[in-house]
Amino acid sequence: MSTTIAAIGTALSNSGISIIRISGKDSLNIVNKIFTSSSKLEPNHIIYGKIVYKGEILDNVLVSYFKAPHSYTGEDICEINCHGGTQITKDILEVVLESGATLAEPGEFSKRAFLNGKMDLSQAEAVINLINAKTRTESRIAAKNMEGDLSKKIRELREELVELMAHIEVSVDYPEYDYEEVEPKSIISLLDRKSSEIQHILDTYEHGKYIKNGINVAILGKPNVGKSSLLNKLANYEKAIVTDIPGTTRDIVEETINLGNIVLNISDTAGIRDTDDIIEKIGVEKSLKILEEVDLVLYLINGEDGLSKEDFEILSKIENKGIKYIAVINKMDITEKMILDAILDELKQKGIKKPVCISVQENKGIDELKNAIINLFNISDLDYSHELIITNERHKDLLKKSINYLNDAKKEINLGQPIDIVSIYIKKCTKTLGEIIGADVTQDIIAKIFEKFCLGK
């Protein structure tokens, strides 16, 4: 890390201030070339002055200086707080680059922080999660993991296994020593305990993935049942075209809304029916294809018309794919009681539970629908302040893999294999756990993780 890097750390748009960040051993030299002030830059101080380049004053700024290793990256860092205009920010970055800095890659500051031991990999991932968080829950979980909650747990998990391995290795490598043999029974009980602790964290991903990615919701149903109207109601503005002509929506219309502490990524779809219209046909195919990627279907039924054969065909498709769904009866304002009773009866007979009755037009039942979604995903039970929750797929995959290794180790013990064979799997498990915090990761993985970061972080 011999180069000194620089980038704009704030979003490029007109705002009060912008920050240009410089990290590396030449940071102070570079700043001193372009910054004039009546005071001298001291570590952990911020001072006022001017950026002057080739005799021209560019801006009045504040510059802070953090001396290695006491900085975010662990290197010398200077930050120039200039006025938040897009042009002036770009100009100052340019003079910083001309004065000897190299433009940073996305995530390079955090990558340096990781490589210099200022944070581990799971903490660095939490930084990007915090920046990308779209809900309060997501940002709180990220903040806790940035503080090292996940890292601490992973280190604890590894510790006892590493101890066990050391014990096994000594007894295998130095049989002449009268070292106490590890009993297979006690190894199994330790492995079981570790498996269940890992499983406990793994189970939190069920919630965690929705917290991080949101719930992918598709509104499905026959034409004209009010799908686009419902999307607009949930979004609170006229996102999709609504008309009384069946077949209005041809393509998928997407919108993101916040439901309490969770994001819903909603797709309004083309009404499903047999049609000869080529464009509509493609739309219908897309509506069905979306079933491959959704977490929840809101299946809309037109209360005015009642249920038809097609409704049950689509509903059984959804059910066969094991997708969560809620049957929603719309247009309650013009639904006759007799038809509603028939719909409720038929749904009950088919085992379709808890339909929600709404009228988009009269704004009725919408809160009940939102509550039904919250209940279906147990979102309200989430206690992120006390529990460690994982939201990253990478962590989930590694935890799964480490449980598998523990199971393999147990299998070998039960087969009566020598202890050094068993220890191979325990070692693989600790290595896999280590990958979560970056103790055992390849350069490729490091590059992949940090390239997802934004510039200047």
Ligand X SMILES: Nc1nc2c(ncn2[C@@H]2O[C@H](COP(=O)(O)OP(=O)(O)OP(=O)(O)O)[C@@H](O)[C@H]2O)c(=O)[nH]1
Residues found near ligand X in the complex (CB under 6 A): 221, 223-229, 242-244, 246-249, 270-271, 330-331, 333-334, 359-361
H helices of 204-308, in order, are 205-213, 227-235, 278-289
In this complex, which beta carbon is closest to ligand X, that of residue 52 or of residue 290? Answer: 290
- The rounded distance, in Å, linking the Cα atoms of 167 and 181 is 8
* Least distance between ligand X and beta carbon 290 (Å): 14
Residue type, 99: S
Q: Answer with the entry of Mg ion, ligand X, none that 331 interacts with (C-beta below 5 to 8 A by kind).
A: ligand X
CA–CA dist 170, 25 (Å, integer)? 44
Between 431 and 450, how does the x/- string for binding to Mg ion read (CB under 5 A)?
--------------------
Distances (CA, A) of 423 to 15, 110, 167, 402, 428: 58, 35, 10, 13, 9
Query: From CA 204, how far away is CA 159, in angstroms rounded?
Result: 22
Q: Do 332 and 322 meet the contact criterion of CB atoms below 8 Å apart?
A: no
When CB distances are held under 5 to 8 angstroms depending on the partner's kind, the choice from Mg ion, ligand X, none that residue 118 binds is: none
Residue 353 CB, nearest distance to ligand X (Å)? 22
Instruction: Report the partner that residue 150 touches, choosing among Mg ion, ligand X, none (CB closer than 5 to 8 A by kind).
Output: none
Binding mask 233-252 for Mg ion (x = CB under 5 A): ---------------xx---
How far apart are CB 254 and Mg ion at their closest, in Å? 13
Q: At its nearest, how many Å lie between ligand X and the CB of residue 238?
A: 11
Residue 120 falls in which region: left (phi positive, over 0), alpha (psi -120 to 50) or beta: beta
Among 23, 123, 228, 335, binds Mg ion (CB under 5 A): 228
Characterise 372 by phi-psi region: left (phi > 0), alpha (psi -120 to 50), beta (else).
Answer: alpha
Nearest CA to 150 among 407, 396, 380? 396
Q: Is the C-alpha dihedral spanning 134, 137, 141, 146 positive or negative?
A: positive
- Nearest approach, Cβ of 262 to ligand X (angstroms)? 24
Between 82 and 270, whose beta carbon lies closer to ligand X? 270
CA gyration radius, the chain? 29
* Antiparallel, parallel or unpaired: β 296-302 and 324-330: parallel
| Residue 375 CB, nearest approach to ligand X (Å) | 23
- Contact between 93 and 8 under an 8 Å Cβ cutoff? The reply is yes
Fill in the amino acid letter for 196: S
63 binds, among Mg ion, ligand X, none (CB under 5 to 8 A by kind): none
Nearest CB to ligand X, comparing residues 69 and 246: 246
Residue type, 217: V
Amino acid of residue 429: C
Least spacing, CB of residue 352 vs ligand X, in Å: 19
- 24 binding partner (options ligand X, Mg ion, none; Cβ < 5 to 8 Å by kind): none
Residue whose CB is less far from Mg ion, 187 or 231: 231
Which residue number, 308 or 375, has a Cβ lying nearer to Mg ion? Answer: 308
Q: Shortest approach of Mg ion to residue 238 CB, angstroms?
A: 12
Residue 247 touches which member of Mg ion, ligand X, none, C-beta under 5-8 Å by kind = ligand X
Closer to Mg ion by Cβ: residue 253 or 373: 253
Cβ proximity to Mg ion, 124 vs 234, nearer residue: 234
Which option in Mg ion, ligand X, none does residue 434 bind, with CB closer than 5 to 8 A by kind?
none
Query: What DSSP string describes 168-215?
Result: HHHHHH-TTS-PPPPPHHHHHHHHHHHHHHHHHHHHTHHHHHHHHH-E
Query: C-beta of 320: minimal distance to ligand X in Å?
Result: 23
* Residue 113, token pair as written in the block: 């922080």
Given Mg ion, ligand X, none, residue 330, with its beta carbon under 5 to 8 Å by kind, binds ligand X
Q: Which does 226 bind (CB under 5 to 8 A by kind): ligand X, Mg ion, none?
A: ligand X
Both tokens of residue 276?
């000869």
Residues that bind Mg ion (CB under 5 A): 227-228, 248-249
